[in-house]
Amino acid sequence: MSDEILFEPGRTGRLVAIRLKPNQDLVEGVEAAAEEAGLAYATVRAAVGSLVDAALGFGAGEGAGVTTVEGPGIEILTLGGELRPDRQGRPHAYLQGTVSDPDAGVYGGRFVRGANPICMTLELVLQEWIPEDGDEGEDEA
């Protein structure tokens, strides 16, 4: 089996609906809402909303960069990702997706922390993930 495949035994838990308000940062707002709901691990199941402006990261290492999409009124077309605890045990979001600018241009990448303010609102649904004890993040290859 490929070394790039990771299996994490566990089960799904609660569904949590979240609403972020204008000028909250997308990434930081999702993390704060997940922490308030008591979610350490979760996946994004659905989302709808808009951003004032968008900053999307792409690539890794020396080839990494950020695409800035200027609004106002950047529509979120897709939003996916997951949350996992950081070293302090707080939820840390890894979010990616696609957005559309006012001229219908489409862009995609990782949402950059602190650079994606909500425009009108953002509603999303997180599904809790409950890893099996002792097997968190280990692959079964």
pTM for this prediction? 0.87
Are 84 and 91 in contact by the 8 Å Cβ rule? The answer is: yes
Judged against a pLDDT cut of 70, whether residue 92 lies above it is answered with: yes
pLDDT digits (tens, 9 = 90+) for 27-64: 999 999 999 999 999 999 999 999 999 999 999 899 89
Are 27 and 95 in contact by the 8 Å Cβ rule? The answer is: yes
CATH number of the structural domain spanning residue 45 = 3.30.1330.80
Residue 137 belongs to some domain of the structure: no
Residue 44 belongs to some domain of the structure: yes
For range 110-118, the mean pLDDT: 98
Three-state secondary structure string covering 94-112? EEEEEEECCCCCEEEEEEC
Residue 64 belongs to some domain of the structure: yes
pLDDT, greater one: 44 or 140: 44
Domain count, the chain: 1
| Residues near 63 by beta carbon (within 8 Å), at least 6 away in sequence | none
Parent domain of 34: 10-131
